[in-house]
Amino acid sequence: MGGAYRWDSAARSWKPLEDSIAESSYFGIESIAADPGDANVVYLAAGMYRREGAAILRSPDRGKSWEVFPTTFRMGGNEDDGGLGERLAIDPNLTSSLYFGSRHDGLQRSNDSGRTWSRVDSFPVHGLGLPEVRRRTNAGLSFVVFDPRSGHRGVGSRTVFVGVADPGPEHLFLTHDGGKTWSAVGGQPRADPLSVQAALDLRGMLYVTYCNGVGPTGVTDGAVFAPRGGQRPRGPTGAACG
């Protein structure tokens, strides 16, 4: 809820990046994504609460200045479930293409470096919509992970993983055709654990943390799942589910 910061190794201190931003809602950071092809470019998914404005912010100079692209989908950077992510991801093979896993409005995609967004209707989970109860929030889609080995520079990645932290029978989906079609990943844990975070290692193995809640309180059990290796969760690992 205090905006985004960048570590300045020379000064050995954290540098605030949003002092020039006047909109208070944009200090609620839902997700951060650094351009894998240009270290100067960084994106913020910004929106404090679902009833306030939200936007994708893009900086060409490591946060010194920002372009602001308001979105119709809402965010909740200071709502529960802030430990999910990263929701915002840049295709390493086509950096003008981004996905955002929203809380209430399904999977969103931009093909013009974050300027405009549209919902990916082919993705099977379209979101639960805004909650009617004021103090309740939806976790929505928890993360987006591109497999860089599945594409070529300038063409785009064909394989993308997306986690779902809303209640439902499946919590991990993938596409092998650049988002045209999606399917649930086989061999997932039982339906009650929710996918929270994921990382792809250099061998192409995807690791996913699952929890019986998305926090910040009430999480009592969790596991790590490696679906591409056919491994089941290996017992309680609640510490991995922040």
Query: For residue range 116-151, what is the model confidence (pLDDT) as tens digits?
Result: 999 999 999 999 888 877 667 889 999 999 999 999
10 Å Cβ neighbour count for 8?
10
Position 240 pLDDT exceeds 60: no
Position 1 pLDDT exceeds 80: no
CA–CA distance, 124 with 182 (Å, rounded to integer): 7
- For the chain, give the percent of residues with pLDDT over 90: 67
Position 175 pLDDT exceeds 50: yes
- Report whether 225 contacts 171 (CB < 8 A): no
Which three-class secondary structure state does DSSP give residue 191?
coil
Q: For position 230, what pLDDT does the model report?
A: 40
Nearest alpha-carbon partner for 110 in 64, 146, 74, 69: 69
User: Residue 14 belongs to what H/E stretch?
Assistant: strand 13-16
Gyration radius of the chain over CA positions: 17
CA–CA distance, 177 with 198 (Å, rounded to integer): 20
Q: For position 116, what pLDDT does the model report?
A: 98
Q: For position 187, what pLDDT does the model report?
A: 80
pTM as predicted: 0.90
CA–CA distance, 143 with 72 (Å, rounded to integer): 19
Q: For position 238, what pLDDT does the model report?
A: 34
Q: For position 211, what pLDDT does the model report?
A: 85
Confidence of residue 229 (pLDDT cuts 50, 70, 90): very low
Q: For position 33, what pLDDT does the model report?
A: 98
CA–CA distance, 79 with 77 (Å, rounded to integer): 6
Q: For position 235, what pLDDT does the model report?
A: 33
CA–CA distance, 60 with 42 (Å, rounded to integer): 7
Position 191 pLDDT exceeds 80: no
Position 231 pLDDT exceeds 70: no
Q: For position 236, what pLDDT does the model report?
A: 33
10 Å Cβ neighbour count for 218?
10
Tokens of 40: 């100067």
Greater confidence, 235 or 82? 82
CA distances from 78 to 52, 74, 107 (A): 11, 12, 20
10 Å Cβ neighbour count for 196?
27
Per the document, the length of the chain is: 242
On average, the pLDDT of the chain sits at 88
CATH of domain 5-240: 2.130.10.10
Confidence of residue 227 (pLDDT cuts 50, 70, 90): low
Determine phi and psi for 25, rounding to 5 degrees: -65, -25
Q: For position 241, what pLDDT does the model report?
A: 42
Q: Mean per-residue pLDDT for 22-36?
A: 96
